[in-house]
Structure 1
Amino acid sequence: MMVVFTLFSQGCSLGLIYIIYSNIPQVGGWTMWEIYLLYGFLLFSEGFINFFFQGAWKITNMIYMSDLDRFLTRPISVGLQLLTAKIDFDGLNKMVIAAALLGIGISKCEIHWTVFKGIFFLAFLAEACVIRLCMIWIASCMSFWMKSKSNSLNYFVISLGEMAKYPLAIYPPIFQGIFGYLIPYAFVSYYPVGYILEKEGMTAGAACTPLVCLCMVAAAYLVLKLGLRRYESTSY
């Protein structure tokens, strides 16, 4: 049933893109196939997190139910235990769809491939997964301060990803700032894919992607550390 739902929801999203581009050849200087490549990056990172690190979504419930206690007593990283506490096979479905989109996008777009560009492509895809995981992780860890059994911040963060399926250039400056600096979706797909496609003005953003990735990892680690300190001193 989950496979059907995933196919239906992703089919609707892709169908919407097709309808838009059937009337407008380009949006923000990007063609339909280039948008599918952008979409593939986002969907692959989402599927990767859902399949391998679904535990990032479950932190709120673990805190509320005091399930963290069993992780704190084990001689293994608490963060690693939380991340791998659960997997979701729907994530595998998304990765398969994303791989197909990436394959179609690559075949339809005029990309001048080199060995280094191929390496960059794989590195960007890995960094996209890490950056997006850190976004969800940080949002979920806010539950340490909320004292509530629900936390909608992680769903808010993932919902913003729907806007990141389109070129950053089409949005007003305020949204470009949000996606570039506050919730860095631009470094998940826009700059990496733009660099691969040799779009103008993408080199600086693509070059900063590894730095953004490291900063997000550091921020995620710090938030967890501070959150665990609060958890130890608070009765839930």
Structure 2
Amino acid sequence: MRTFRLYLRLLGAHVRSMLEYESDFLLMAGATVLTQVVNVVFVSALFARVPQLNGWTFWAVVIMFGLVALAEGVGSLFFQGMWDLPWQINQGDLDYFLVRPYPVALQVSSAAVGVNGLSNIVTGGLMIGAGIAHVSVDWTWWRVLLAILLLISAAVIKVSINLATSAVSFWMTSPTPMFAFAVHQAGDLTRFPLSIYPLALKAVLGFALPFAFISFFPVAYLLDSGPSHWLGLLTPLVAAYCAATAAIIFKRGLRRYESAGN
């Protein structure tokens, strides 16, 4: 609990510093909302030409878009500092984290706050709510609890992949998160149903980099759609696997950290 409180205090300090520049805050939040609106308009234009996308309806795809946006929002708002890890390694700023009585990974994660994450969480939640209101699902109490568990697991998967790919910087010399950003861009493909992609891409997005468990498989299970919809039940296990893998990669990278030599 002490670690959790410290984490929230660090995030709160960054939020207060950002709110000193209200115009920047509002512009960034507005730009994020506009991005999600453009995404919905694009999907609407697509389904205006094609009634179904390989068996998937417009509102099912909107839910997938919402899940990806929500997971990205959680990663940006609460764990934005992960994107600064390559710079911290390159400049030797990680030295400060090593001498503090606080987990290094959490210090890295709370080193920055992405204001755009709040907008993504709100717009993602609205898209999920709108999509759920237009699909046929028998919402029993256990299905509601399962949906919440799948939602939390999706966010854990996204954050874990961000940490793991950013930690690759321990083995690279670049001060920018080029590898992590490339993987992040690949994850945007799962805004659409995995079934529309070729087999090789399905294997990458479904298992090598399990972005599909953020959106496609949870939605497939809740809507009982597709022969592999049962894979959605594995989302919590995939989240645990991703978190453990990210922790191992980060710890191994931390062992070979040699500072910047200044």
Mark yes or no: TM-score above 0.5.
yes
Aligned to 2:249: 223
Aligned residue in 1 for 2:184: 158
> Partner amino acid for 2:160?
C
TM-score (norm. length: structure 2) = 0.86
Q: Distance in 1 between matches of 2:163 and 2:54?
A: 31
**Letter paired with 2:257:** Y
Matched, 1:19 2:21: no
Counterpart among 65, 76, 93 of residue 50 in structure 1: 76
- Structure 2 Cα separation of the partners of residues 197 and 16 of structure 1: 23
Which consecutive residues of structure 2, in runs of 5 or more, have no partner in the other structure? 1-26
- 1:203, CA displacement in angstroms? 4.2
- CA distance in 2 between counterparts of 1:216 and 1:7 reads 29
Is 2:239 the partner of 1:213?
Answer: yes
Distance across 1 between alignment mates of 2:157 and 2:217:
13
* 1:110-140 C-alpha deviation (Å, 9 max, x unpaired): 1111111101111111111110111111111
Mapping of residues 85-124 of structure 1, within 5 Å: 85-124=111-150
Matches within 5 A, 1:1-236: 1-232=27-258, 235=261
The TM-score with structure 1 as length reference comes to 0.96
Q: Offset of 1:201 from its aligned partner? A: 2.4
- Amino acid of the structure 2 residue aligned with 1:40: G
Q: Distance in 1 between matches of 2:204 and 2:216?
A: 13
Cα deviation digits, residues 49-95 of structure 1 (max 9, x gap): 10011011110111111111111001111111111111111100110
SS in 2 for 1:30: coil
Q: Which range moved further: 206-215 or 32-41?
A: 206-215
CA distance in structure 2 between the partners assigned to 1:37 and 1:56 by the alignment: 27
Q: Within 1, Cα distance between the matches of 2:182 and 2:59?
A: 27
Single out whichever of 204-213 and 67-76 deviates more from structure 2: 204-213
DSSP 3-state at the match of 2:257: helix
Unaligned ranges ≥5, structure 1: none
Match of 1:177, as an amino acid?
A: A
Percent identity of equivalent pairs:
33
In 2, Cα distance between equivalents of 1:232 and 1:115: 52
Change in CA separation of 1:235 and 1:201 when aligned onto 2, cut-off 3 Å = farther
How many pairs were matched up?
Answer: 236
Give the letter for the 1:110 counterpart. S
d(CA) in 2 for partners of 1:151 and 1:55? 11
SS at match of 2:232: helix
Measure the CA separation in 1 of the matches of 2:234 and 2:114.
31
- Report the Cα distance in structure 2 between the residues aligned to 1:8 and 1:200, rounded to whole angstroms: 32
Query: Which residue identity lines up with residue 47 of structure 1 in the other structure?
Result: G
Residue 204 of structure 1, CA deviation: 3.2
For residue 148 of structure 1, report the CA deviation from its aligned partner.
1.9
Residues of 1 paired with 2:146 and 2:62: CA distance? 19
